[in-house]
């Protein structure tokens, strides 16, 4: 029940932010929309709602956003360089990466972060293993590329979402 | 001052979107094309949105631009993941220059 309430509040906040008006009609419309969304998708929401009330997680999230943005900008210059270079220095392949996080939410966020960073797209997650398409497979050693692909984010993701 | 900063940010954004489109044409197979289509285009669009925020400030236009950033993050990544996985399962082969395919073992399993 708690998770439905949390999702309802989040959706309503989101509605108020995108419409940016506090008239009664707008709030009522938002509540109807939030109720419908909650009814449809509430069962997919996070199980431990208490997570939202721990300020420590928000502090780490802030740190993580900056690290992530930096990696993301680097990734973009990297991909732009590979695209514009006449010989196109690419060496694509799908590699198998061992994950160090357990909860579903953490896995989702890690996969999303990996997709946004240097030349990698998460293809599939099966149990503890993630398959990642990599535009430049720089090493054949699983240890080395696990570190390169997911190692940078794992410790922050663990602190924020687990 | 704000106008200048926002113009620069929007110009950077458009430039990155252009790189993304060049990559879409030049790269060899669907997987590599998605790489350029997600990353470069997403950062380019973020840059344009931040430029809009700088120009208009925290009124409704600016706040909407700010909210579009996380939405774009989730939509772009999930769409890229779904497209890559879908095209692999559909049977589109990796390009000739690919060096490794660990996903094959998983796919051939029942």
Q: Quote the domain boundaries for residue B62.
A: 2-108
> Which of the two residues, B107 and B53, has the higher pLDDT score?
B53
Q: Are A157 and A109 in contact (CB under 8 A)?
A: yes
Tens of pLDDT, residue by residue over A48-72, are: 777 777 788 888 888 888 888 888 8
B6 touches chain A (CB under 8 A): no
Element (H, E) at A94: strand A93-98
Which pLDDT value is given to residue B109? Answer: 53
Q: Is residue A22 helix, strand or coil? A: coil
Query: A93 vs B29: CB contact, 8 Å cut-off?
Result: no
Q: In what order do the strands lie in the sheet with B100-101?
A: A120-126, A129-134, A93-98, B100-101
Q: Are B9 and B48 in contact (CB under 8 A)?
A: yes
Give residues 15 to 34 of A whose Cβ lies within 8 Å of B. 17-18, 20
Long-range contacts of A48-52 (CB under 8 A, 24+ apart): A49/A2, A49/A3, A49/A5, A49/A6, A51/A161, A52/A6
Helices B2-26 & A55-84 angle (0-180, nearest 10): 60
CA–CA separation, B35 vs B20, rounded Å? Answer: 9
Which pLDDT value is given to residue A156? Answer: 83
User: How many domains are contained in chain B?
Assistant: 1
CA–CA separation, A63 vs B85, rounded Å? Answer: 31
Give the mean model confidence (pLDDT) for residues B36-51: 87
B2 touches chain A (CB under 8 A): no
* Residue B110 confidence class, pLDDT cut points 50, 70, 90: very low
Neighbours of B80 (CB within 10 A): 24
Interface probe for B, chosen from A16, A61, A124 (most Cβ of B below 10 Å), is A124
* Residue B84 confidence class, pLDDT cut points 50, 70, 90: confident
Query: B94 vs A95: CB contact, 8 Å cut-off?
Result: no
Closest residue by Cα to residue B46 from A101, A31, A86, A75? A75
Query: A115 vs B101: CB contact, 8 Å cut-off?
Result: no
Of A109-113, A131-135, B48-52, B91-95, give the lowest mean pLDDT range.
B91-95
Query: A115 vs B77: CB contact, 8 Å cut-off?
Result: yes
Of A53-57, A130-134, B94-98, B103-107, give the lowest mean pLDDT range.
B103-107
B31 touches chain A (CB under 8 A): yes
Interface probe for A, chosen from B13, B84, B108 (most Cβ of A below 10 Å), is B84
Query: B102 vs A95: CB contact, 8 Å cut-off?
Result: yes
Q: Does residue B107 carry a pLDDT above 70?
A: no
Query: A116 vs B103: CB contact, 8 Å cut-off?
Result: no
Q: Is residue B93 helix, strand or coil? A: coil
* Residue A29 confidence class, pLDDT cut points 50, 70, 90: very high
Q: Quote the ipTM score.
A: 0.78
């Amino acid at each position: 029940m708690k998770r439905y309430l949390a999702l309802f509040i989040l959706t309503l906040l989101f509605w108020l932010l995108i419409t940016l008006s506090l008239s009664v009609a707008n709030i009522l419309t938002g509540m109807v929309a939030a109720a419908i969304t909650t009814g449809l998708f509430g069962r997919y929401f996070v199980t431990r709602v208490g997570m939202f009330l721990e300020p420590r997680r928000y502090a780490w999230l802030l740190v993580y956003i900056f690290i992530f943005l930096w990696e993301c900008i680097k990734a973009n210059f990297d991909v732009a360089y590979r695209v514009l270079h006449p010989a196109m220095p690419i060496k694509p392949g799908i590699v198998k990466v061992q994950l160090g996080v357990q909860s579903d939410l953490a896995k989702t966020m890690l996969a999303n972060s990996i997709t946004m960073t240097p030349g990698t797209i998460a293809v599939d997650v099966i149990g503890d293993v993630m398959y990642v398409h990599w535009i430049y497979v720089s090493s054949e050693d699983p240890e080395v590329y696990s570190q390169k692909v997911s190692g940078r984010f794992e410790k922050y993701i663990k602190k924020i979402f687990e | 001052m704000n106008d200048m900063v926002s113009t620069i940010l929007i110009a950077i954004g458009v430039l990155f979107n252009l790189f993304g489109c060049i990559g879409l044409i030049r790269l060899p197979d669907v997987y590599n094309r998605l790489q350029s289509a997600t990353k470069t285009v997403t950062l380019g669009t973020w840059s344009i949105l931040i430029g809009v925020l700088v120009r208009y400030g925290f009124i409704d236009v600016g706040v909407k631009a700010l909210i579009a950033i996380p939405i774009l993050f989730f939509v772009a990544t999930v769409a890229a993941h779904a497209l890559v996985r879908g095209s692999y399962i559909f049977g589109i082969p990796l390009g000739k220059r690919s060096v490794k395919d660990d996903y094959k073992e998983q796919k051939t399993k029942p």
